[in-house]
Amino acid sequence: MIRFAALLPIMALLLTAGAAPAPGAAHFTANGAFIPPSDYREWIYLSTGLDMSYSDAPSMPGQSMFDNVFVDPDSWREFKKTGHWPEGAVFILENRGGASRGSINKHGHYQTEDLMGLEAHVHDSARFKGGWGFFALNGAAPAKMIPYAAACYACHQAHGAVDTTFTQFYPTAKPIAVKAGTYREP
């Protein structure tokens, strides 16, 4: 028999959740806006791209930019078992300015406090056509989904090696997917 008192925490959770529950690390407001995770810097670090560009010309001549990629820990744990990114997976791409001469540094580039952009890629098949949604984040403000017509969707679907993510560029994740047989040669 379940006593009423035992149900209280569950009821409180249902009440405070407000919005429709979503699997995993993804949290949404009642009208479907994505709530940016405040602790993604404590998630699993996947990689950093430096001055990556998809066209022949560099994107910002004379200015370096890093992009740091993080995924939530539960999804990483699941990915290690299956080679797939599970429902509820949240990826964060953090763009940071690169500097080269500062302090004792004379060559090469290091990252600065200058946050140049923050984007999310979220797996929730009940919510998104094609299973994944993209978001441009601005501080703690809930973000509306980037429309499906945006280039994000087409490029990730066509070239992402695992489940529309660019796992081919994440050195610790790639071998797991290759071994699991979920890796699609881009």
Length of the chain: 186
Residue 69 engages ligand HEC in binding (rule: CB under 6 A) = yes
Q: Tell me which stretch binds ligand HEC (CB under 6 A): 29-37, 44-52, 74-82, 178-186.
A: 44-52
Q: Give the HSE-up count for residue 21: Cα atoms under 13 Å, Cβ half-sphere.
A: 7
Question: Any idea what the Cα angle at residue 164 is, between residues 77 and 76, rounded to 5°?
Answer: 10
Residue 13 or 82 having the CB closest to ligand HEC: 82
77-116 residues near ligand HEC, rule: CB under 6 A: 91, 93
Which sign, positive or negative, has the C-alpha torsion 90, 42, 50, 35? Answer: positive
Q: How far is the CB of 169 from ligand HEC (least distance, A)?
A: 3
Residue 49 or 142 having the CB closest to ligand HEC: 49
Question: Any idea what the Cα angle at residue 170 is, between residues 165 and 174, rounded to 5°?
Answer: 85
Catalog residues that contact ligand HEC under the rule CB under 6 A.
47, 49, 52, 54, 67, 69, 91, 93, 119-121, 134, 136, 146, 150-152, 155-156, 165-166, 169
